[in-house]
Amino acid sequence: QVQLVESGGGLVQAGGSLRLSCAASGRTFSSYAMGWFRQAPGKEREFVAAVNWSGGSTFYVDSVKGRFTISRDNAKSTMYLQMNSLKPEDTAVYYCAAALSTYSSWSGRYSSTAPYDYWGQGTQVTVSS
């Protein structure tokens, strides 16, 4: 069992930056591949970024490439999402997720919600134009 708590959301103007954090507890953090997802009102939850167990491999949805950076600190059991050059279309509730999966199971499906076993409660990000 693992508990995930997101923080760092808020209201920011277009072009601004925010840094989200996801603090994990309950199990060895490095046992999990991690991901960030977001859900805007009336829309399905969508993949934003993912990072493998060591932090050495990262993946992004095309719409955030070059603007967002995912990272993790296994010693602190925390994952981050640095968001720069924010746009109004980035407005959503952002969720972190943890996957206790094998490499072969996760690596081909990291952008799907399916391999993720645990989810945080979400943090609201609002970008004003």
Neighbouring-strand partners of residue 12:
127
- pLDDT at res. 103: 82
Over residues 111-121, mean pLDDT: 96
Can you say whether the dihedral through the CA atoms of 23, 58, 73, 31 is positive or negative? Answer: positive
**Which is higher by pLDDT, 96 or 102?**
96
Q: Write the pLDDT tens digit of every residue in 39-77.
A: 999 999 999 999 999 999 999 999 999 999 999 999 999
- pLDDT at res. 125: 98
> What's the rounded Cα separation, in Å, for the pair 32 and 34?
6
Neighbouring-strand partners of residue 4:
24
Does 123 score more than 90 pLDDT? yes
> What's the rounded Cα separation, in Å, for the pair 34 and 115?
10
CA R_g for the chain: 14
